[in-house]
């Protein structure tokens, strides 16, 4: 037991110490639906909007948030039907990339987030690029981690079954085959571990959480609908490439070369359309933050600082 003088000294020291930065969690009602978000850092600092991929949620940014919260304001929402956000019935919410982007755009406006860098990964690219093209004056920079906006950045082999739907319309038999692979526990684990340097080092919580959420009643139909709707993203690639050429946002590209879905030609496209690209190819898989969060966090600090983004 501490004696009284030492105990008093310990209490005084703890009161004088600065508060430890930590992630805050909350919900924002957007058009009657609760959008879950993680937020950290001082809003007076430069803001990073972290847009997650499939089949994940803001959970994929947990380590990056912890690494950067001392210097940046970070906010990471879960899309409707993903993570801890509401999962409304399809009769009450239209699950398309257009509508999800509108929801996240409204979320940011309601949170008074009107100047930011966008972190684009997987589904975060078509959602974020819709927002960027709508509000180019708000975007300070792009951070692109296997967030594709080029046709050559689609692996025809892994996208093949979904592309079959795009070309021939929705098909119950093909969708059942896709579902049996994509939504199984092994299929979800593969998305996190494929192409990584150390598969045994990837946190199993990732795919266990996704498996629970992706197998809620009604989820398969919603997600298969989004796979089909992804064709609208490909149709918008020329529009988004024009946005890049016209507005020239500085871009940090940190691209996992072993990604089974988005190969490196998708990364190379940014070098064609942008004048200011910090280009990095990483030896890891689709969710690069699982193995290379330290490298990516350091690159973000150096990249934004060099461009006086504040």
DSSP 97-149: HHHHHHHHHHHHHHTT--SEEEEE-TTHHHHHHHHHHH-GGGEEEEEESS---
- How many Cβ atoms from other residues are within 10 Å of residue 137's Cβ? 8
Residue that the structure tokens 């946005």 belong to: 243
Q: In the numeric block, which tokens belong to residue 196?
A: 């990584």
286 is a catalytic site residue: yes
Q: What strands lie across the sheet with 251-256, from one edge to the other?
A: 24-30, 33-40, 73-77, 47-51, 116-120, 139-144, 251-256, 277-282
For residue 255, give the DSSP letter: E
- How many Cβ atoms from other residues are within 10 Å of residue 244's Cβ? 22
Let me know: does 300 contact 309? Beta carbons within 8 Å.
Answer: no
Let me know: does 303 contact 278? Beta carbons within 8 Å.
Answer: yes
- Distance, CA of 159 to CA of 167 (rounded, Å): 12
Q: Which residues contact 120 (CB under 8 A, 6 or more apart)?
A: 51, 128, 129, 142, 143, 144, 145, 147
Q: Which residues are catalytic?
A: 286
């Amino acid at each position: 037991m501490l004696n009284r003088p030492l105990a008093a000294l310990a209490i005084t020291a703890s009161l004088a110490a600065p508060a430890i930065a930590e992630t805050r969690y909350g919900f924002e009602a957007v058009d009657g639906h609760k959008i879950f978000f993680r937020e950290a850092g001082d809003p007076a600092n430069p803001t990073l909007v972290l847009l997650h991929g499939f089949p994940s949620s803001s959970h994929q940014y947990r380590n990056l948030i912890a690494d950067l919260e001392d210097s940046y304001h970070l906010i990471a929402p879960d899309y409707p039907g993903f993570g801890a956000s509401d999962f409304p019935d399809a009769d009450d919410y239209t699950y398309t990339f257009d509508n999800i982007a509108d929801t996240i755009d409204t979320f940011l406006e309601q949170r008074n987030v009107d100047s930011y860098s966008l972190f684009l990964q997987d589904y975060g690219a078509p959602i974020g690029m819709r927002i960027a093209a709508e509000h180019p004056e708000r975007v300070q920079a792009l951070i692109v981690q296997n967030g594709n906006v080029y046709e050559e950045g689609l692996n025809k082999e892994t996208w093949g079954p979904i592309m079959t739907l795009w070309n021939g319309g929705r098909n119950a038999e093909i969708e059942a085959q896709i579902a049996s692979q994509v939504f199984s526990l092994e299929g979800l684990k593969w998305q996190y571990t494929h192409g990584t340097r150390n598969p045994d080092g990837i946190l199993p919580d990732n795919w266990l959480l996704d498996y629970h959420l992706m197998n809620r009643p009604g989820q398969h139909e919603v997600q298969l609908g989004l796979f089909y709707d992804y064709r609208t993203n490909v149709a918008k690639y020329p529009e988004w490439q024009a946005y890049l050429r016209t507005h020239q946002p500085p871009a940090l590209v940190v691209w996992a070369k072993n990604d089974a879905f988005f190969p490196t030609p998708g990364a190379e496209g940014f070098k064609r359309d942008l004048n200011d690209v910090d280009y990095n190819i990483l030896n890891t898989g689709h969710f690069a933050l699982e193995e290379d969060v330290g490298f990516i966090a350091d690159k973000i600090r150096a990249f934004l600082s060099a461009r006086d983004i504040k």
